[in-house]
Amino acid sequence: MSNVTQPRAVNAAVVNSHHHMDFHQIQLAAPLENEVGVRIVACGICHTDLGFMTEGAILGHEGAGVVEQVGSAVKSVKPGDHVLLSYQSCGVCAECQDRHPYNCEHFSKLNFGFQRIDGTSAYPEGVQGHFFGQSAFADYCLVTEQNLVKVAPELPLNVLAPLGCGIQTGAGTVFNTLKVKPGESLMVMGTGAVGLAAIMAAKIAGAKTIIAVDREPRRLALARKLGATESINSDEENYLATLCPHLDYVIDTTGISHLDELGQDVLKEGGTLVRLAGIAGEPLTRGRKAISVIQGDSVAQDFLPKLIEYWQQGRFPLEQMITFYDFDDINRALKEANNGSAVKAVLVWE
């Protein structure tokens, strides 16, 4: 049987010199023996995309699609399989071998370095691909078995596409990192996709008090609908007075320093502040700790199926935060993701 892999012409959104995207036909090399070529059906937009708008880059790292080609060493998927894409890891370093791919030694290179692990690229000169091992703002991309999750063909790829980064980060922080238990209390600062995913997860975990903080009334209303027991508008002057301190956990998705301080103030002794936006703050006192987390400590192949199960049970209704756009509308989708009018933008090919 022949399994000859081929180069392929790809329609991809490439960042131009004005920080917009234009579609170009690009010739992509054939998959290497460990690579999988995926026809992209949908791709979420994550805030990390907005931070890498450099000329020549093909972004997109919440892809979902159908396997088209597989390299000769690929074991876990075959052409026709449906897959969700998540972050890239090397699979061989000590952390990867220890089942902690989110702490992969090569995480930066593989996810933000626009290259394969061996430093090569499947893309032509002047084009930067392999973003998060994907570059899924295109109708096709190359991935590896480390960053794909096979899913049942009847599942809606457009709804589930965003699970692979932002949603996994928020939900994983609650389930995998903090291991929130029934009756515990937490505050989530910022109710974008990451914060809302944390709120949905906290409700599933049985948290008694789930406080949502944001400045946007519409998002606070959505947060309450998805599981927040209280909501606080951080623009309202006396919101401090409404807070009850002594919370078990605070998850900050904003990186805003006065909110970070507020988070410290409401934590109980021994409580944990999670800084998801990467802010560097003062060390805490009274036994409280501040931690950072990558991808919600999630092994996508184990964790995404769990989130899909919750979604199927109606307990993790992420579609309520999604706005769909045609891929052709990518510039409008990026703008609306950036200004917050779309909580989670998902691009879909016609």
Q: Rule CB under 5 A: which residues touch Zn ion?
A: 46, 48, 89-90, 93, 96, 104, 165
Beta carbon of residue 76, minimum distance to Zn ion (angstroms, whole number):
17
Which one, 59 or 226, has the nearer CB to Zn ion? 59
Copy the structure tokens of residue 102.
Answer: 């989110």
Beta carbon of residue 134, minimum distance to Zn ion (angstroms, whole number):
10
Which one, 14 or 46, has the nearer CB to Zn ion? 46
In whole angstroms, give the CA distance from residue 64 to residue 150. Answer: 10
Name the residue among 231, 227, 222, 220 with its Cα closest to residue 205.
227
Which one, 91 or 209, has the nearer CB to Zn ion? 91
Which one, 159 or 165, has the nearer CB to Zn ion? 165
Beta carbon of residue 49, minimum distance to Zn ion (angstroms, whole number):
7
Which one, 71 or 133, has the nearer CB to Zn ion? 133
In whole angstroms, give the CA distance from residue 260 to residue 271. Answer: 14
Both ends of the chain: CA-CA distance in Å?
33
Is residue 333 within 8 Å of 339, Cβ to Cβ?
no
Which one, 48 or 185, has the nearer CB to Zn ion? 48
In whole angstroms, give the CA distance from residue 343 to residue 197. Answer: 11
Which one, 86 or 264, has the nearer CB to Zn ion? 86
Beta carbon of residue 96, minimum distance to Zn ion (angstroms, whole number):
3
In whole angstroms, give the CA distance from residue 198 to residue 196. Answer: 5
CA distances from 207 to 7, 109, 180, 210, 288 (A): 50, 37, 7, 7, 19
Which one, 92 or 152, has the nearer CB to Zn ion? 92
Which one, 93 or 279, has the nearer CB to Zn ion? 93
Beta carbon of residue 127, minimum distance to Zn ion (angstroms, whole number):
21
Task: Provide CB contacts within 8 A for 238, sequence distance 6+.
Answer: none
Beta carbon of residue 209, minimum distance to Zn ion (angstroms, whole number):
28
Beta carbon of residue 26, minimum distance to Zn ion (angstroms, whole number):
23
Beta carbon of residue 247, minimum distance to Zn ion (angstroms, whole number):
26
Helix axes 217-226, 193-205, angle to 10 degrees: 30
In whole angstroms, give the CA distance from residue 200 to residue 225. Answer: 9
Beta carbon of residue 246, minimum distance to Zn ion (angstroms, whole number):
32
